[in-house]
Structure 1
Amino acid sequence: MDLSAYTPYMLSLLRIMVGALLLCHGTMKFLGFPESEHRPTLFSIYWVAGVIELVAGGLITIGLFTQPATFIASGLCAFAYFVGHARKDFYPVLNGGEASVLFCFIFLYFTFAGPGPISLDALIGLFGSSTPQ
């Protein structure tokens, strides 16, 4: 069974899911949902990260300005890994940084692959997005 015809749709589904996961980090910091103790101080590094998570996560989820948003999100996740995890231990599995590394490379992939056909970018023709053949 050849499932390759569904590849563009799976690309969109993956983008929606990882965008929503990033968005949750931002909503947790600023909207208290899901409920958390994380309340960053205004203009702290965690506050700036929360703003990026909220804005980029929302844009990635709906597929608008996907490639610039995923590029910024990829950098955010790389920064989070090196600042928050790598100094604890060399191995991501031991320093708790697997999610940061995974997010970083998934977002980097979307920077080059684009948002897929189910996106506002594809709907309005931004960044060379195309609808499926």
Structure 2
Amino acid sequence: MSQFTTTAQATAAAARPHLIALHRAVVGLLFACHGAASLFGVLGGAHGGGTVAVGTWPGWYAAVIQLACGVLVVLGLGTRGAALVASGSMAYAYFTVHQENALFPLQNGGEPAVLFCWAFLLIAALGPGSFALTGRRE
């Protein structure tokens, strides 16, 4: 093994928790923005400028999950649990809303749901990384 390989591996190992934290923060923020848009009409609102009516199934509940889980993931509080709930909600969204329109995400508009689902599953598996409010206890 060359000196370069050893140095590159050491650098990658040292950067890993920070890269995980950056991934967690970006994905969580984007998810929270979707929830805030649907609930409060900010950032363009839900589906072209409006809000989701309170208590409607599944839209309002999905928006609450997006906002709450997104904020928890950004902060690194209960990260694994929040990410697992977020991942499950996106799997549900894909299979109940998108897949009935076509088989592939590119055809049925389900790319965001699939990407969020897998991104949150990765966060649930890897944990919060560095700079989480709960620290390394998760």
Using the size of structure 1 for normalisation, the TM-score is: 0.88
Where 2:44 maps in the other structure, the secondary structure is coil
Runs of 4+ in 1 over 4 A off after TM superposition: none
Is 1:61 equivalent to 2:74 in the alignment? yes
Deviation sequence 1:42-63 (CA, Å, 0-9, x none): 2111000111011101001111
Q: Is the Cα contact below 8 Å between 1:65 and 1:126 reproduced in 2?
A: no
Tell me which residue corresponds to 1:131: none
Tell me which residue corresponds to 1:83: 96
Of the three residues 42, 48, 52, the one matched with 1:40 is 52
Q: Alignment length, in residue pairs?
A: 125
What is the Cα deviation at residue 100 of structure 1? 0.8
Q: Is the Cα contact below 8 Å between 2:40 and 2:51 reproduced in 1?
A: no
Is 1:20 equivalent to 2:29 in the alignment? yes
Tell me which residue corresponds to 2:20: 11
Tell me which residue corresponds to 1:106: 119
Q: Distance in 2 between matches of 1:38 and 1:115?
A: 33
What is the Cα deviation at residue 17 of structure 1? 0.1
What is the Cα deviation at residue 32 of structure 1? 2.0
Share of identical aligned residues, percent? 36
Deviation sequence 1:62-85 (CA, Å, 0-9, x none): 111000000000001101111221
Tell me which residue corresponds to 1:51: 64
Structure number with larger C-alpha Rg: 2
Judge which range, 104-113 or 28-37, deviates more: 28-37
What is the Cα deviation at residue 31 of structure 1? 2.2
Is 1:126 equivalent to 2:125 in the alignment? no
For structure 1, which runs of at least 5 residues remain unmatched after alignment? 128-133
What is the Cα deviation at residue 22 of structure 1? 0.3
Deviation sequence 1:19-41 (CA, Å, 0-9, x none): 00000011101222202224112
What is the Cα deviation at residue 101 of structure 1? 0.8
